[in-house]
Amino acid sequence: MFETMKAAYAKSDKGDAAGFTNWRRYSTQAYVSDTHGGRYVQNWGNTAAKAYGNYESAGTFPQGAKLAKDSFAVNAKGGVSVGPLFLMEKMQAGFNPDSDDWRYTLIMPNGSIFGTTNGAGSDNVAFCIGCHQSVTPDQDNVLLLPEEYRVR
pLDDT of 4-32, one tens digit each? 988 999 999 888 898 999 999 999 999 99
pLDDT computed for residue 151 by the predictor:
95
Question: pTM for the whole thing?
Answer: 0.94
Q: Are 58 and 142 in contact (CB under 8 A)?
A: yes
> Among 93, 38, 36, which residue's Cα sits nearest to residue 61?
93
User: Whole-angstrom Cα distance, residue 53 to residue 112?
Assistant: 30
State which residues form the domain around 107: 2-149
Per the structure, the count of domains in the chain is 1
For 44, how many CA atoms within 13 A lie in the half-sphere containing its CB? 18
Over 80: is that where the pLDDT of 134 sits? yes
Predicted pLDDT at 117: 97
CATH code of residue 93: 3.50.70
* Dist CA 145 CA 123 (whole Å): 26
